[in-house]
Amino acid sequence: MAQKAAKATARKNTSVLANLHLISLAVNLFFLVWRFVLSSRAITKSTIYLYVLLNGPALGVQLYLERIGRPSDARKAGEDLNASGLMEMLWDVIYVTWACLVLVAFFGEWIWWLWAVIPVYGVYAAYTTATGMRETLGGMGGAANDMAAGGPSKRQAKLEKRNAEGKTAKFR
C-alpha cells in the first residue's frame, strides 16, 4: 500500500516539476524578449542587476524543489511538493517572482517593489509562529502559575479540610 502511494507521489511530482520548468521558462523568456528586445531603450544596468538579484531566489527554489521532488536514490519517491507549511512558502516565492517579471516587463522597474511582499510575509509568518509557540509553551507552566495565584487545587483544599477536622491518614 505504501509503495502505491509513493509511486503516485513520484508521478505527481514529475508532472508538477515539468509544469514548473515550462512556465518558468515561458515567463523568463517573455520578460527577456519584451524588456530587452521589444523595448530595448529600457535596458540599464539596474534592470539587469534587479533581474538577476530578484529572479535568483526563485530559480534557487526551483532547483531545490527539483532536488527534493526527484531524489537521486531510485528507492525513494521524493517529498510531496504540494505539502503545506514551508513548501507553500517556497511556491509563493516562485509565484510572486513570476508576477513581478510580467508586471515589470509592462510597467517598469518600480514594480520590483512588489517583490518586497515576500520578506514582509516571512516576518509576519515568523512572528505569528513565535507568538503561537509562546502561548503554547506558556500553557505548560501556566496551569501551575494559575493555581498558585488562584489558591489551592481541589485536592489540596480537600486534604487541608481533612487535616483541619482531624481526619488524618493513618499509616501502618
What pLDDT score was predicted for residue 172?
A: 56
What pLDDT score was predicted for residue 59?
A: 94
How many Cα atoms are found within 13 Å in the side-chain-facing hemisphere of 134? 6
CA 7 to chain centre: 25
The pTM of the whole model exceeds 0.75: no
Average per-residue pLDDT for the chain: 81
- pLDDT, tens digit, for every residue of 157-168? 888 888 887 766
More confident residue, 8 or 74: 8
- pLDDT, tens digit, for every residue of 9-58? 878 888 889 999 999 999 999 998 888 787 767 677 888 888 899 899 99
Which is nearest to 101 in space by CA: 110, 93, 112? 112
Say whether pLDDT at 169 is over 80. no
**Are 61 and 94 a contacting pair, CB within 8 Å?**
yes
Here the cell at position 160 is 487541608
Instruction: Determine which of 1-5, 103-107, 108-112 has the lowest per-residue pLDDT on average.
Output: 1-5
Max mean pLDDT range (15-24, 83-92, 108-117, 129-138): 15-24
What pLDDT score was predicted for residue 117?
A: 84
- pLDDT, tens digit, for every residue of 45-90? 888 888 899 899 999 999 999 988 887 666 676 788 888 878 888 8
CA 85 to chain centre: 5
Distance CA 162, CA 90 (A): 62
Distance CA 22, CA 149 (A): 62
What pLDDT score was predicted for residue 150?
A: 64
Length of the chain as a residue count: 172
**Are 115 and 100 a contacting pair, CB within 8 Å?**
yes
Distance CA 52, CA 19 (A): 22
What pLDDT score was predicted for residue 120?
A: 87
More confident residue, 19 or 137: 19
Which is nearest to 17 in space by CA: 70, 92, 73, 88? 70
Element (H, E) at 149: helix 117-150
